[in-house]
Structure 1
Amino acid sequence: MSISLLLEMAASSNPERTAVVSGQLRLTTQQLSDLADGGAGVVAASGAKHVAYVGTGGAMLPVLIFAAARAGLAFTPLNYRLSADGIQALIARLPEPLVIVDDRYRDMIGDSSERVMSSEEFLAAAHESEPAAEFPDPESVAIVLFTSGTTSQPKAVELSHNNLTSYVTGTVEFESAEPADAALICVPPYHIAGVSAALSNLYAGRKMVYLTNFDADEWVRLVDAERVSTATVVPTMLDRIVTVLEGGGHELPSLRSLAYGGSKVGLPLVRRALELLPHVGFVNAYGLTETSSTIAVLGPDDHREAHSASADHVARRLGSVGRPVPGIELQIRGEDGAVLPPGESGELFVRGEQVSGRYTGIGSVLDEDGWFPTRDVALLDEDGYLFISGRSDDTIIRGGENIAPAELEEVLIEHAHVHDVAVVGVEDPQWGQAIVAVVVPVAGIDPDPEELREHVRKSLRGSRTPDRVVFRGELPTTPTGKVLRREIVEDLRTLGTPK
């Protein structure tokens, strides 16, 4: 099934429904379809073999996703936050691309492509162009996304039409949204969550309201102004939204569902959000670029049950990412490749139609049975709830003992003086690696490092106590909230690690 069919179904079912709100621009499903057809004509006339986009998204994202699909080409939204050299290097890896770029980023493109159009030029041409539309082979590549490249050169993940439509149709019922439902989208266009939000909300029949540059006050205003019923945020966004809500005067009565994900969220923040928005159903969504977005979900009922539970095994689920979505299988494997029983930690492997596991220039990394190695350290409990401990690359090896940073972070974040924390390993001549806890204190507090070390020692065995505790004003993160641990390690190496 082609992703083109998702738009055709939406336009045929309800052509006058508002599909996109982006600033002053509003598009019905039929107008979006017409723009995609015209855009496909522009793409076809360019002679390009790929479509790329550098910009903040909004309406441009769904327009270009479907224009490229209807022209039979793959589409790549690029990270506009990269340096000019970084953007040009990624463009150079795409085959003869037509690059669409927001005006403010035009100089970043340089002469990296022979075919460049501004977003305004593309939209104007799409209105005038002879329409083109085709339904590509479902197994052909629809979307190519570059990984963040925080630890190495970015890989180009290839997602087929079948991968993406399998995810959408497996997790969303067609036209299941209420007529007044609206989704507020503020994740970056180059992230899989941005792509999947455009596809799944359109298929569900939900108005998409775009906030291209996140601001917590504006987010709250838009929820009220557009009667937003569902939204997705990353942890840093949720933290800022909670700060605004704590200021008072905002109840967000229209909001029914708030999903968060992209990286691990501290439980004190989740608990506070649940308390501030008792009428909202919270969803923790876990997924990867290679899996076409979400593969596990901790739903609203699970959140409320865990939040109020007295039984430890139920309360602990608030720190999980829930259970797999339909069509997804999970395995936890040990270092020897054997499948581990519930309660044991190992590497997470996933399998399903939505799972790609294919990279440009590398090919598929699925094993012979179709399983994808996520490189995430995880465990499944007896009831099938999935707990993510972090990346295998993040594991600290101190004196021959493997230590997951998340284990310490989960303890430290519960201390009343800790607002945020990341635990990393640094080179140490005695132990191989020393454990350093980098703490962002609660505003106005000057914590005692020894008190924080003792807080960890009370919960974990002594070998897991941080060797040092240092304080910073904030942690370096990606726009989707993932902590840039390599930058932290480099910071510690360059500046030293004073207590």
Structure 2
Amino acid sequence: MDYEITSLKGSGKDIVRRIRSSEKSQLLIPPKLSGMNLDIPAPPSGDKYIGLFSSGTTQQPKCIWNTLDRIEENARYSVEAFEVGPQHLVLLMAMPWHIAGLSWMLMCESVECDYFFITTKKGEHDFWIKTVQDISPDYLFTVPAVLRALYDERWFVNNVAYGGYPIKFEEYAKLSPHCSFMYQGYGQTEAGGLISCHKRRSTVLPFDLENLCNGKAIEGVELTCSGTQEHPTPIYIYSRTSCFAQTYDSGDVGFTDEEGNIYIAGRSLAPESSKATTKKELLGN
């Protein structure tokens, strides 16, 4: 076997240390997939690769190999997008075996800021809120599902960043009292992490399209989409940190505005067989 299955024991920081210190490629298998008959392709030879599974929210989870160097490069771009500095205290509440959680940890490692990582598990609402209150971080990075469990509690974090999917219109009023700024991230496992980011003040009323995941491409990313609000079309992504050498079909549809913001309207309805005709070349093969 050309790789090791990474132990998920301990904290998120422990997992990152294992990944970075090992000489072999690493595969992170989410606990919910443990024991299943998984289709795991061998990683390309040469560089050190990290195997991550897509979240599987829209289709069957698949194993995606990308180099650690590219994932770390994307994490460095995320530092600029989220405006995180070495002086900040950061709280991460996510799953370390998915690209968001892993990328956020590598982001903090790259800027050498103090951070805490909490692996989120269902039913631990009381622990989440106590952690936020006790740590009182400068930044909270998490997902909307966790935020929804915290809306009715007493807490405040100056900067709240979330990814995975957008929050609903009615949630802005619930989140606004808890922060000064919100950062909405759009990323994919295939891209090596973050693709675009949208920052907003919590005191500003949401505009018509803020129920959609949206934002400007980060450094190293080019987004191509010819759609309109009335007729969304496929979004194509070129990223220097992607596992693909060329532009690839994101699987999402959307449109852009005059300022260069991308809006994700939903998933493509095209069958997987038709997507296979788009140009995809795995780096290292």
Interval containing the TM-score (normalised by the shorter chain): 0.7 to 0.9
- Show the 5 A alignment for 1:149-298: 149=56, 153-172=60-79, 177-179=85-87, 181-214=88-121, 215-243=124-152, 245=153, 250-252=154-156, 255-274=157-176, 276-277=177-178, 279-298=179-198
Give the share of equivalent positions with the same residue, in percent.
20
Other structure's SS at 1:221 match = helix
In the superposition, the TM-score normalised over structure 2's length comes to 0.80
Read off the aligned partner of 1:383 and give its amino acid letter: E
Give 1:318 deviation, angstroms.
5.6
Give 1:371 deviation, angstroms.
0.7
2:28 pairs with 1:77: yes
> In the alignment, which residue of structure 2 is the partner of 1:58?
12
Other structure's SS at 1:59 match = helix
Other structure's SS at 2:266 match = strand
Give 1:287 deviation, angstroms.
0.6
As a proportion of its length, which structure holds more helix?
A: 1
Query: 1:291 touches 1:356 (CA, 8 Å); kept in 2?
Result: yes
2:237 pairs with 1:350: yes
Q: CA RMSD in A?
A: 3.1
Q: How many Å separate the matches in 2 of 1:65 and 1:284?
A: 27
| Structure 1 residues 315 and 259: CA distance shift in structure 2, 3 A | same
| Structure 1 residues 219 and 171: CA distance shift in structure 2, 3 A | same
State the 4+ residue runs in structure 1 displaced beyond 6 angstroms: none
- Decide which of 134, 147, 150 is 2:54's aligned counterpart: 147
Other structure's SS at 1:201 match = helix
Give 1:157 deviation, angstroms.
0.8
Q: Kindly tell me the number of residue pairs found equivalent between the two proteins.
A: 266
Give 1:199 deviation, angstroms.
0.6
Give 1:270 deviation, angstroms.
2.4
Q: How many Å separate the matches in 1 of 2:143 and 2:213?
A: 16
Query: 2:133 touches 2:155 (CA, 8 Å); kept in 1?
Result: no
Structure 2: which 5+ residue stretches go unaligned?
272-285
Read off the aligned partner of 1:60 and give its amino acid letter: D
Q: How many Å separate the matches in 1 of 2:58 and 2:161?
A: 27
| Structure 1 residues 349 and 148: CA distance shift in structure 2, 3 A | same
Other structure's SS at 1:355 match = coil
Other structure's SS at 2:185 match = strand
Query: 1:75 touches 1:144 (CA, 8 Å); kept in 2?
Result: yes
- Show the 5 A alignment for 1:484-495: none
Query: 1:184 touches 1:230 (CA, 8 Å); kept in 2?
Result: yes
> In the alignment, which residue of structure 2 is the partner of 1:371?
247
Tell me the alpha carbon deviations over residues 111-165 of structure 1, each in whole angstroms, 9 at most, x when there is no partner: xxxxxxxxxxxxxxxxxxxxxxxxxx9x724311122345655322111134213
Tell me the alpha carbon deviations over residues 410-444 of structure 1, each in whole angstroms, 9 at most, x when there is no partner: xxxxxxxxxxxxxxxxxxxxxxxxxxxxxxxxxxx
> In the alignment, which residue of structure 2 is the partner of 1:329?
222
Read off the aligned partner of 1:211 and give its amino acid letter: I
Query: 1:344 touches 1:380 (CA, 8 Å); kept in 2?
Result: no
Other structure's SS at 1:283 match = strand
| Structure 1 residues 183 and 371: CA distance shift in structure 2, 3 A | same
| Structure 1 residues 198 and 342: CA distance shift in structure 2, 3 A | same
Query: 2:3 touches 2:26 (CA, 8 Å); kept in 1?
Result: no
Query: 2:108 touches 2:114 (CA, 8 Å); kept in 1?
Result: yes
Larger Cα-atom Rg:
1
Tell me the alpha carbon deviations over residues 443-465 of structure 1, each in whole angstroms, 9 at most, x when there is no partner: xxxxxxxxxxxxxxxxxxxxxxx
Give 1:283 deviation, angstroms.
0.7
Tell me the alpha carbon deviations over residues 46-80 of structure 1, each in whole angstroms, 9 at most, x when there is no partner: x9742423457433222212122xx1x21122111
| Structure 1 residues 326 and 50: CA distance shift in structure 2, 3 A | same
Read off the aligned partner of 2:243 and give its amino acid letter: S
| Structure 1 residues 350 and 151: CA distance shift in structure 2, 3 A | closer
Report which structure shows greater RCO (CA 8 Å, sep ≥6): 2
Read off the aligned partner of 1:224 and give its amino acid letter: Q
Tell me the alpha carbon deviations over residues 224-282 of structure 1, each in whole angstroms, 9 at most, x when there is no partner: 32231111121211111103x2xxxx243xx22111121232121123211x22x4311
